[in-house]
Structure 1
């Protein structure tokens, strides 16, 4: 049965529609008229129902005109070819319509078999070419899917296996994997990058049997080759991976060489993933198995020292121990990329979390944790990762130093001492003072010690002891009551602290006061 290319006529003038219907014997020319419409709105309903290959349309029509119709066809039915018929007075309008997807135009006064049929047959060639490319694309996509199934050890039927190995006919293979880094959820942008990478591989490695495919944002390339072509192929691989690495935000390519694709490609893939976990230590486009040197040295990070330095606001000290530890990690490459990035994120998180109640500027940067963590997630090299961490700590240090310099520390000490003087009877501590005065705990401790050369907790105890001395001079007040009056919940603890600062117990102190009174 002969197949025809389906044609739809669209014009608001019935005379012109009838003229086109009888222009020639359409079926003898390989075409079949599937209908006619009086405007773009009717045309779209028929296009949806009958799926024409070619639309012949007038420009000026009610409801939806020819240009709007061409726009919609280009967007929703890109495989349909559009031929515009126009009057000579509408030529500027015709030129405008070309950017909206029309494929050709013809003046209505020249609408004859001799002028129209060559245009339609050129459109047919484009349709056939599109179909050929579509079929080729479908075949390539099928091979990609089969290759992925083989790599991931999925079940493949015998017919598909046979099809795949009619394509992969040579003994040896190279497997390359990389990963596209994404800063957001722009899937359209990701697909564009994938196609550009696919085109680069196709154009540069044109002489090799190859498949380029993707698992989400992971790039997978399989190249089938003979031994005699290996050296040249490796040079070509180095060239194309370097070019892609320099032009796109991707991780280094991991190269695994092997033979017997059917049996071994899955193991090569697993091996490549293991190596990829260490790729961040190598600032180059292509990494081979021989680049990875296994070392067993593992040293724990000193979190106690790190947190102590943060408590003292000594961020330069933090930078020093971070650099030292990261140097050891790089030298031994024992930490995988995921763990390394999580470690760096934890350092920043700990620093910011301990300071976020301290200063408005530090609160602002604390809110940027997500941005910083994303930068770490997409860092491509070890040095880039280190720079993010160190720069963040330097920035925090600058902010904290500016804040320290801008605050009147003497004033802070004064309000703290006033607070203790008013509240010594209550259960107060460094933590409660920090909360009530909205001063960061670490900063409060550091500032008080720095300004007074004593700990705030010691100062609180001294104030309570001094107040207790006053009460002890009033012999009517029982000593047991005095301990509660100055903020001590346990009498024994009160006696212990009192003796620490006076070398006397409360009872001994009161006895001494009585003796002195008698002497007067």
Structure 2
């Protein structure tokens, strides 16, 4: 089948990833052939992959989605464009329809069903074949359809198989390296040629075989499995195989099919030898171990190093039985590291270096195949972030902030302005004052101002109302109130005491 080709255009990395993993695209006759972050990349990508449909964000740097749509429709009138909008303002996006845009979608409320409701009609319009498994008459594909629908058709099963037990074998390409899939298929066919077996197709990028055999042939099937893994040893790095055996009923066949689709999860959680053999009773999953993002951010605002250790502890607790899906864990790690970089202070001379590190880290996490790889990449970025803090970056930053306060205490400065001036999180800066100085920023600023006021008050020629203005208070009465609170005396009494 020739797939309907789609490219995703958005300058937000996480949104692109969300769309790309929102659907089992091939199940519906689509395939994602590329992604881009701006107009230039999009036009270059179009020349290379010739997509049928483009999902394009309306707000992008330099050339926005509307202008890009105009360019695309002029050069490639047959390409269908769907605009992605961040907010519901039809007046804002209707301009795009003048240039031939097919439809628009609201990003905040986007669901898989909404996306399909728009894409499938476009798929038919451009003449690409729609993936309609109802029309498939091949026995294997009928079985796949049956298992996908979770409806057991005993007649179909009896037409395909006549022995009492089943073994399911699935394999998946685990890297972007190209492999000869036909080689794997040939090895499976060669290994099990003495048994009734059937290739039923591919689901979620997993190729699935069903082997039908007698119960007394279990050991022989296991021997054949071991032979298969040895024969595929040379390409086992790029392919992960899974076998589920001791399936002795139609209902268990359905359960085994659902389990084989967890193949990538088994591999993700540490089965690094390239294959695994299980039964339906091998693993009992526990409640999923959720990550407390709110608690992480609470820790991060006061102690980024402890926050990193909090995430590290979470990752090390994950197992197949209680873990989230691989893509969910990737999103957690990427999001918390992104937020952590926004919290800690980074000197201007390190911006380029830090951005390079961040991009490399996000790419590594996106391409990671196993949890072990994610932990290794996390440990690298953890060491790097700790080095930024431990070499005194934060201490130097705080000294710069204190110097800024000492030089500008007479101005109407506040914590929000300082946080913006030094490119640091407001919440982190606020927590830093509370934790390191045991007082709020306002208390610290008042302390600086009153100390300066004492220096001015020893000069009898300077009026007290003017002293108030010199140290940043617009109201002399408020100045007097703060001065008495911190010193125990009014400014007038303090001056008299000093003059004596």
The question of a shared fold, defined as TM-score above 0.5 by the shorter chain, is answered with yes
Q: Distance in 2 between matches of 1:238 and 1:496?
A: 84
Q: Distance in 1 between matches of 2:321 and 2:484?
A: 55
Q: Distance in 1 between matches of 2:182 and 2:290?
A: 43
Partner of 2:161: 168
Partner of 1:151: 147
Counterparts in 2 of 1:103-502, with a 5 A limit? 142-153=138-149, 165-183=158-176, 189=178, 192-212=179-199, 213-241=201-229, 244=232, 247-251=236-240, 253=242, 255-261=244-250, 265-273=253-261, 277=265, 280-283=268-271, 284=273, 285-288=275-278, 289-296=280-287, 301=292, 304=295, 308=299, 311-312=302-303, 314=305, 317-318=306-307, 320-330=309-319, 333-355=322-344, 357-358=346-347, 359-360=350-351, 361-376=353-368, 378-379=369-370, 382-401=371-390, 404=393, 409=396, 416-437=401-422, 459-469=444-454, 479=465, 486-488=471-473, 494=479, 497-502=482-487
SS across alignment from 1:269: helix
Per the TM alignment, residue 275 of structure 1 is displaced from its structure 2 partner at its CA by 7.6
Q: Distance in 1 between matches of 2:175 and 2:137?
A: 24
Per the TM alignment, residue 232 of structure 1 is displaced from its structure 2 partner at its CA by 0.8
Counterparts in 2 of 1:349 and 1:234: CA distance versus 1, 3 Å: farther
Per the TM alignment, residue 221 of structure 1 is displaced from its structure 2 partner at its CA by 1.8
Q: Distance in 2 between matches of 1:259 and 1:384?
A: 37
Counterparts in 2 of 1:257 and 1:385: CA distance versus 1, 3 Å: farther
Q: Distance in 2 between matches of 1:297 and 1:156?
A: 29
Q: Distance in 2 between matches of 1:497 and 1:200?
A: 84
Per the TM alignment, residue 239 of structure 1 is displaced from its structure 2 partner at its CA by 3.9
Partner of 1:503: 488
- The question of whether the paired residues in 2 share the 8 Å contact of 1:172 and 1:258 is answered with yes
Counterparts in 2 of 1:291 and 1:266: CA distance versus 1, 3 Å: closer
TM-score scaled by structure 2? 0.56
Q: Distance in 1 between matches of 2:431 and 2:152?
A: 67
Q: Distance in 2 between matches of 1:226 and 1:495?
A: 95
Per the TM alignment, residue 253 of structure 1 is displaced from its structure 2 partner at its CA by 1.7
Q: Distance in 1 between matches of 2:295 and 2:475?
A: 32
SS across alignment from 2:356: helix
Q: Distance in 1 between matches of 2:493 and 2:433?
A: 35
Q: Distance in 1 between matches of 2:228 and 2:477?
A: 79
- The question of whether the paired residues in 2 share the 8 Å contact of 1:355 and 1:362 is answered with no
Per the TM alignment, residue 447 of structure 1 is displaced from its structure 2 partner at its CA by 10
- The question of whether the paired residues in 1 share the 8 Å contact of 2:163 and 2:214 is answered with yes
Per the TM alignment, residue 313 of structure 1 is displaced from its structure 2 partner at its CA by 5.1
SS across alignment from 1:177: strand
Q: Distance in 2 between matches of 1:496 and 1:218?
A: 73
Structure richer in helix, relative to its length? 1
Q: Distance in 2 between matches of 1:277 and 1:227?
A: 28
SS across alignment from 1:152: helix
- The question of whether the paired residues in 2 share the 8 Å contact of 1:313 and 1:443 is answered with no
Q: What residue ranges of structure 1 are gaps of 5+ in the alignment?
A: 1-139
- The question of whether the paired residues in 1 share the 8 Å contact of 2:302 and 2:432 is answered with no
- The question of whether the paired residues in 1 share the 8 Å contact of 2:344 and 2:424 is answered with no
SS across alignment from 1:368: helix
Per the TM alignment, residue 510 of structure 1 is displaced from its structure 2 partner at its CA by 1.2
- The question of whether the paired residues in 2 share the 8 Å contact of 1:211 and 1:222 is answered with yes
- The question of whether the paired residues in 1 share the 8 Å contact of 2:361 and 2:377 is answered with no
Q: Distance in 2 between matches of 1:368 and 1:401?
A: 22
Q: Distance in 2 between matches of 1:498 and 1:400?
A: 36
Q: Distance in 2 between matches of 1:345 and 1:327?
A: 16
Q: Distance in 1 between matches of 2:242 and 2:483?
A: 70
Counterparts in 2 of 1:291 and 1:499: CA distance versus 1, 3 Å: farther
